[in-house]
Amino acid sequence: MMIQYIIIFSVIALSIAYAGYRIILAIKHSSDPCYGCSGCALKDLQRKKNRRKKSKPSCWTAK
């Protein structure tokens, strides 16, 4: 019976830790429209659009 409680507690603790990690990640990337994406077609289109406007890039991770 005690082993079942340990397993249940471990699963709940891991799920709470994962949810906390995802919440922190979402808050960290809330101002980034690409949400930390390393590269995609949408990011390339945003770069081209921003070059025409001569304004700050919307993806700060892009170089």
Local confidence pLDDT in tens for the 63 residues of the chain: 899 999 999 999 999 999 999 999 888 877 776 666 666 777 677 777 777 666 555 555 555
Cα dist. 26→36, 48, 62 in Å?
Answer: 10, 26, 19
> Looking at residue 3, what is its pLDDT?
96
> Looking at residue 48, what is its pLDDT?
76
> Looking at residue 39, what is its pLDDT?
63
> Looking at residue 36, what is its pLDDT?
63
